[in-house]
């Protein structure tokens, strides 16, 4: 009875909705940071492999390979 009256006056959110509103941003940021932590080294490794492969294609004399 008292709870119903209080909820009518000021709406009391359910616990999971309250947690979602309060910590939703933190959970979103944490999941984004986790994704970047996995993808960052992967992309970094791919760029290092690309640069190394491009450097190997140029001969040691420094001449550029003609592209046909």
pLDDT tens, position by position, 46-61: 777 777 666 665 555 6
Mind giving me the DSSP string for the chain? -HHHHHHHHSPPPPHHHHHHHHHHHHHHHHHHHHHHHHHHHHHHHHHHHHHHHHHHHS-TT-PPPPP-
Q: Name the band, by pLDDT with cuts 50, 70 and 90, for residue 64.
A: low
Segments making up each domain of the chain, as ranges: 13-55
pLDDT tens, position by position, 7-26: 566 666 666 665 666 666 66
pLDDT tens, position by position, 27-45: 777 888 888 888 888 888 8
**Residue keyed to tokens 């004399």:** 61
């Amino acid at each position: 009875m008292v709870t119903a009256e209080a909820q009518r006056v000021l709406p009391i959110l359910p616990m999971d909705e309250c947690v979602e509103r309060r910590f939703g941003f933190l959970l979103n940021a944490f999941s984004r940071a986790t994704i970047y932590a996995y993808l960052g080294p992967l992309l970094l490794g791919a760029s290092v492999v690309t640069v190394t492969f491009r450097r190997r294609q140029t001969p040691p004399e420094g001449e550029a390979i003609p592209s046909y």
